[in-house]
Structure 1
Amino acid sequence: MLYPELFKQLESVRWNMDKDIPWDQFDASRLSEEQAQTVKMNAITEWAALPATEMFLRDNRDDSDFSAFMSVWFFEEQKHSLVLMEYLRRFRPDLVPTEAELHEVRFEFDPAPALETLMLHFCGEIRLNHWYRRAAEWHDEPVIKAIYETLARDEARHGGAYLRYMKRALQKFGDEAKAAFAKVGVLMASARRTAQALHPTNLHVNERLFPRDTIQSRLPDPEWLEAWLDKQIQFDAVWENKVVERILHNLSLLMERSFESVQELNRFRKEMTQKLAATAAAASAAGGPPGTQPA
């Protein structure tokens, strides 16, 4: 099991909201109205760890190890929302999200393949780490800068934990896991080709509620994310390339095969898809279950 070791690792570096955030360094003159508004939007977005956890537990009922790890991930992600709300409570109490605004982002996600969801959230942690690092640079006020730097480190550690479960999945599921990880990797590393920010909170997850079935669509300002990325923290092509490079680098290590570009990863995805199809066809011809070889 990975959970006991991951628990110890994350416990050893866990920060304390009272002692490790420099609340006494707050400088009101360095916090603009638009900056304060974005803190509120991110506080609500982080609350979406609640429905995400419910999704993970539902779709991983056969995996008690990973489900146990969710107790750590959920605690730390909800703490992100809490520290952003504490910042507002102390310094901009008029902007503290209401319970109704928080509850609006709690809705059921449609079931999805567990391997693809794992890869999706691994990529999401990488992206959010870079978003928060850029946000820390954009802000002038010392306390919120420190908070975003703290959250960015958490997201990096969470990505590392997900990577451990991805390595385990390769051992258990082989080519099926490779195909799933490559498929989602191509999607999440192709943000420059899409009009929307590629993060789990910005993807459609409930067909019945479409188009209000993304986390971002249910925020008080559904358009804020694009403005935050493009006009405020200016998450430009240089930063996007950093995200893509991290995704490709980690997949290269995971698959033991070099991926220098999304195109190379896509070719690998096609290879895995064809290999799985051939294996299934051979098993069908032999009258056995998928994944078996004919005698």
Structure 2
Amino acid sequence: MLYPELFASLEKARWSMKDDIPWDAFEPARLTDEQAQTIRLNAITEWSALPATEMFLRDNRDDSDFSAFMSVWFYEEQKHSLVLMEYLRRFRPALLPTEAELHAVRFEFDPAPPLETLMLHFCGELRLTQWYRQASDWHSEPVIKHIYKTISQDEARHGGAYLKYMKRAIERLGDEARYAFAKIGVLMAASGKSGKPMHPTNLHVNQSLYPLDTIQSRLPDPDWLAHWLDEQIHFDKACEARVIGGILRNLASLFDRTFDTPSQLNLYRKELQRRIAATTHVADGLAAA
């Protein structure tokens, strides 16, 4: 089981909202109303760990190890929402999210293949790591700079934990897992071409609720994310390249390959697809005989 090891390592790195956030260092003149609004929307977005956890537990009922890990992931992700709300409570109380605004992002996700979902959220953690680092650099108020740096480090650790479960899946399922991870990896590494920030919170997850079936669509300002990335924290091509590079490097390590571009990963995906099809064809022939 991976859960005991991951629990111990994440417990060792855990920070205290009371003791490790320098609340007394707050500098009012360094926080604008515009910046405070983005903190509010990030706090609501982080609350969506609740429906994501419900999805993970439902779709991984046969995997108690991973489900147990969700107890740690869920706790730490909800703390991200809480620390951002605590910041607003102290310094911009009028912008504190309402319970109704938080509850609006809790809705049921359609069932999805667990391997693809695992890879999607691994990529999401890599992306959040970089988004929050950039947010920390954009802000000048020292307390929120510290908070964003702190939760960015959490997201990086979460990505490492997901990677361990991905490695385990390959050991157990071989090409089935490799193909699922490569397929989602190609999608997520191509986000720069799509012009859309690819992250679990802005992907459609419930067909019956479309188009109000993304986390971002249920926020008080559904269009804020692209504006935050492009016009505020300036998440540019160089930043995006770090996300894509992280996806390619980690998959290269998992697959024992080298991927310098998303196109090379896509070629490997096609190779896996052919290999799986050939294996299935042989198995069908043996069954017919």
Question: TM-score band, normalised by the shorter chain?
Answer: over 0.9
> Which residues in structure 2 correspond to 1:89-104 (within 5 Å)?
89-104=89-104
Tell me the secondary structure at the aligned position of residue 287 of structure 2: coil
TM-score (structure 2 length as normaliser): 0.99
Q: Distance in 1 between matches of 2:64 and 2:125?
A: 22
Q: Distance in 2 between matches of 1:5 and 1:234?
A: 37
Q: Distance in 2 between matches of 1:46 and 1:284?
A: 46
Q: Distance in 2 between matches of 1:130 and 1:237?
A: 12
Amino acid in structure 2 at the alignment position of 1:69? F
- How much is the aligned-residue C-alpha RMSD, in angstroms? 0.8
- Provide structure 2 residue ranges, at least 5 long, that are not aligned to the other structure: none
Aligned-pair identity in percent equals 67
The alpha-carbon deviation at position 280 of structure 1 amounts to 1.1
1:242 aligns with 2:239: no
TM-score (structure 1 length as normaliser): 0.97
Deviations 1:241-277 (A, max 9, x none): 0100011000010100001100000000001111111
1:261 corresponding residue in structure 2: 261
> Which residues in structure 2 correspond to 1:178-193 (within 5 Å)?
178-193=178-193
What is the count of residue pairs matched by the alignment?
A: 289
2:37 corresponding residue in structure 1: 37
Q: Distance in 2 between matches of 1:248 and 1:272?
A: 16
> Which residues in structure 2 correspond to 1:164-175 (within 5 Å)?
164-175=164-175
2:71 corresponding residue in structure 1: 71
Q: Distance in 1 between matches of 2:70 and 2:213?
A: 23
The alpha-carbon deviation at position 71 of structure 1 amounts to 0.1
Q: Distance in 1 between matches of 2:39 and 2:241?
A: 25
> Which residues in structure 2 correspond to 1:53-202 (within 5 Å)?
53-202=53-202
1:218 corresponding residue in structure 2: 218
Q: Distance in 2 between matches of 1:113 and 1:278?
A: 22
Q: Distance in 2 between matches of 1:197 and 1:245?
A: 16
| Consecutive aligned runs of 4 or more in structure 1 exceeding 6 Å deviation | none
1:7 corresponding residue in structure 2: 7
Amino acid in structure 2 at the alignment position of 1:192? G
- Provide structure 1 residue ranges, at least 5 long, that are not aligned to the other structure: 289-293
The alpha-carbon deviation at position 195 of structure 1 amounts to 2.8
Amino acid in structure 2 at the alignment position of 1:182? A
1:28 corresponding residue in structure 2: 28
